[in-house]
Each structure stands twice: as structure tokens, then as C-alpha cells.
Amino acid sequence: MELFTEENATRVVQARNTGCKDARMRQILDVVIAHLHAMARELEPTRDEWSQAIAFLTRVGQMCSSQRQEFILLSDTLGVSMLVDAINHRREGGGTESTVLGPFYRAGAQRLPMGASISKDGRGEPMRVMGSVRDLDGQPIAGATLDVWQSGPNGFYDVQDPNQPPFNLRGVFTTEADGRYAFTTVKPSSYPIPDDGPVGEMLKSAGRHPYRPAHIHFVVGAPGFRPIATHLFMVGDPYLDSDAVFGVKESLIVTPQRVWDSARAASAGLPAPYWEISYDFALAHA
């Protein structure tokens, strides 16, 4: 019989898992126990501090609803989401880099034709986004889908803002035979992640701001290829080097060009001047 002591705590608790039939689950339990115990040994929390930690996690859970995922925000702001993403998307052969999905993805956005606008309310500075989807050899991928979403110029997603029509600034596009895609939207702006809950309290007490640099979200996929969730970020944004969720990668920063040519604007169905971004995505075979 080995009773629990401060010295043997980790071994004794892990030993209770020997009946676990699932090897991966056993490994997860053992590693989580080892790291939690190591944290307690290093921090030596008072009972009051540990109660505060439990109360914090309780508030994180209580803040969650169908519209709000505070645990994802916690994972994002502690850099865990991006670390898990990096582990799962070690870059192969020059494929487009991935970044955090975030909590504002909504399945079921409308499929739209080439060049269509995802802005349902027309608010913001017009912007055209275009380019291609290719494989790692540079060959165009026909029939690739780009599921696109972004916040409005006020920094809110449709799901956060009753003044935006449902599915505003969302759409799904399909590449043509030459692998090309194009859509119109409005220039995104930087915005704070939801900071009126426990994660916001944590950021404040750490002396951190809650802002993300302006970006457009994409999930790009095609049959036979590994899908990626990524963003395009706007050059010059003041939050590029301090993104609250650590999502920025150099290769995902684009430079919007101001287009004044009225003939070009007319052919894009936009008023001049408008902003234009060009970006080619590269997918790895599954």
C-alpha cells in the first residue's frame, strides 16, 4: 500500500490510471497530472489562490453559450491554440501557412459566384480580393473552395452585432479551371476580442491589450488536398506584432493597393478608388 504524500503524489495518482484501456487517454491523463503537479510544486499556491483559480475556470465555463466560447478565447490568448496549430501544420514544401480558426466561423455561408460581394450592407471601404489556389508544384486547383469571413468596419462580426444582416461578410467561393478566385468585400479593421468576461480580466491583469490586427479569415480546401484555416493580415496594422492571440505570420501579411482607375473599377463592379489584394494559396496533397 502506498498512501499519498507530497513527495510521491504524482506517481500515486498516475498509478490509479493503470486500468485505462485506451493508451492515448492514459498518456493524456499521465501528462496532464504530471504538469499540474509540477505547477503546484513550483507555485506553491495558497488555498485562497487555488480557490481563485477554480473560480476563474468556473467563470470561463459559465460565460460559454451558443454565441460565446470563452474556453477557446482562453486557449487563444494563452498561445495554446497557435501552438497546437503549429504542431499540426508543420510547413511542408511551401504550402500556405495556417493560423487560428477563432470562435466566429459559421458553417452554412452562401455559395457565391466569382467576383460577388460578401458585404450585405455596403458599409466600409470597398476592397477586391483575388488570386489563385494551387498545389505545391504551382499547378492550379480547379473546384477548390474558399470559405471566407471577416468583421465589419466597426470591428464586430455579424454574430456579435444586431445591426448587421445575418451572414454579413461571409461567403463561399469556388475556383475556376485556372484555379482563380475573386470576391469583393470591405477593408477589415483591427478589433478587440470579446474582453467583457474572465479572459478580458486576465488580459487586463497581465497588462495586455485585447486587439487583433485587421484580417480576413479563410478556410481553403479541395478534394484530395489538406484544408487550411488561415487569415490575410493588412500591412502596417499597429497590432501585427502584438496580436492578442499570436496568430500573425509574415507570409500572411498582404499590402492592399489603392486602385484609382475607373475603367478597372467598373469592370470589378466597384466605385473608384477601391482597395485590391492579390494572394495565391498553396495546398498540400492529403
Chain residues binding ligand BEZ by CB under 6 A are 73, 76, 100, 102-104, 193, 212, 245
**How far apart, in whole angstroms, are the C-alpha atoms of residue 103 and residue 67?**
9
Task: Give residues 128-167 in contact with Fe ion (rule: CB under 5 A).
Answer: none
Task: Give residues 240-269 in contact with Fe ion (rule: CB under 5 A).
Answer: none
Contacts with 27 (C-beta within 8 Å, 6 or more apart), sequence order: none
Q: Which does 76 bind (CB under 5 to 8 A by kind): Fe ion, ligand BEZ, none?
A: ligand BEZ
How near is the Cβ of 100 to Fe ion at its closest, in Å?
Answer: 9
**How far apart, in whole angstroms, are the C-alpha atoms of residue 68 and residue 28?**
27
How near is the Cβ of 218 to Fe ion at its closest, in Å?
Answer: 11
How near is the Cβ of 129 to Fe ion at its closest, in Å?
Answer: 15
- How many other C-beta atoms lie within 10 A of the C-beta of residue 269? 13
Pick 79 or 103: Cβ nearer ligand BEZ: 103
- What is the x/- site pattern for Fe ion, positions 87-106, by CB under 5 A? ---------------x----
How near is the Cβ of 145 to ligand BEZ at its closest, in Å?
Answer: 19
**How far apart, in whole angstroms, are the C-alpha atoms of residue 67 and residue 69?**
7
Based on its alpha-carbon atoms, the radius of gyration of the chain, rounded to whole angstroms, reads 23
How many angstroms separate the first and last alpha carbons of the chain?
51
Pick 73 or 234: Cβ nearer ligand BEZ: 73
Q: Which does 198 bind (CB under 5 to 8 A by kind): Fe ion, ligand BEZ, none?
A: none
Q: Which cell is 123 given?
A: 458599409
Torsion from C-alpha of 88, 255, 217, 174, nearest 10 degrees? -100
How near is the Cβ of 210 to ligand BEZ at its closest, in Å?
Answer: 9
Q: In what order do the strands lie in the sheet with 257-259?
A: 180-186, 126-135, 274-283, 257-259
Pick 141 or 252: Cβ nearer ligand BEZ: 252
**How far apart, in whole angstroms, are the C-alpha atoms of residue 212 and residue 138?**
31
Pick 102 or 126: Cβ nearer ligand BEZ: 102
**How far apart, in whole angstroms, are the C-alpha atoms of residue 129 and residue 182?**
6
Q: Which does 85 bind (CB under 5 to 8 A by kind): Fe ion, ligand BEZ, none?
A: none
Q: Which does 115 bind (CB under 5 to 8 A by kind): ligand BEZ, Fe ion, none?
A: none
Kindly list the residues in this chain that would bind Fe ion in the complex (CB under 5 A). Answer: 102
